[in-house]
Amino acid sequence: MVNDIEKLNKVIGSLEEQATRVTEFNGILASVNEARSEIESSKKILKNASAEHQQLIADSHSKFDELLKRLVSIEQKLANLEQGQDKCLQKISELKFLTPEKFEEGRKASDAKINESVQRLEQKIDDANQAHRSSFKTLKFIILFGILLLATGIAFLAKKSLF
């Protein structure tokens, strides 16, 4: 019987040891199940985050496409503006600007022309004045000569009538 008791003690020890191992295994299994639950929960969170991320990516693509369209539009408008600017610069370069130096040169040339014209007119007026004076002298001479002839004719007629 001692032998049986020893065997029973060994079996009990073995069972206790196995029970301890089962308890440890159950603890580990509970930890694994808890980890599995957390992993599943994390999986769902990651899946939701992935879906949100995919949506954000799709939104970003659409916004980038819209921005690209706007950028193309802006580039086209900028090109048109540059063409307009080139045309304006071309027209500006074709214009003749009046600089102060050119204004002064033009004013001096204009003054010289005006002075020359005034001198010519003065000369013409003097010539016309001289011609009028000469004409007046000639006219005076003719009138005086005519009065003298008339007086002579009257005197001659008066003499003839008296005789």
Please give the Cα distance from 103 to 46 (Å, whole number).
81
DSSP 95: S
pLDDT, residue 39, reads 92
Q: Is the per-residue pLDDT at 57 higher than 90?
A: yes
pLDDT band at 4 (very low <50, low <70, confident <90, very high): confident
∠ CA 122-127-132, rounded to 5°: 125
Share of the chain above pLDDT 70, in %: 99
pLDDT digit string (tens) for 8-46?
A: 888 888 888 888 888 888 888 889 899 999 999 999 999
Tell me which residue has tokens 């929960």. Answer: 41
Q: Is the per-residue pLDDT at 163 higher than 80?
A: no
Helix/strand/coil for 145? helix
What is the four-CA torsion angle of 105, 110, 111, 117, rounded to 10 degrees? 150
Beta strands in 27-110 (DSSP E): none
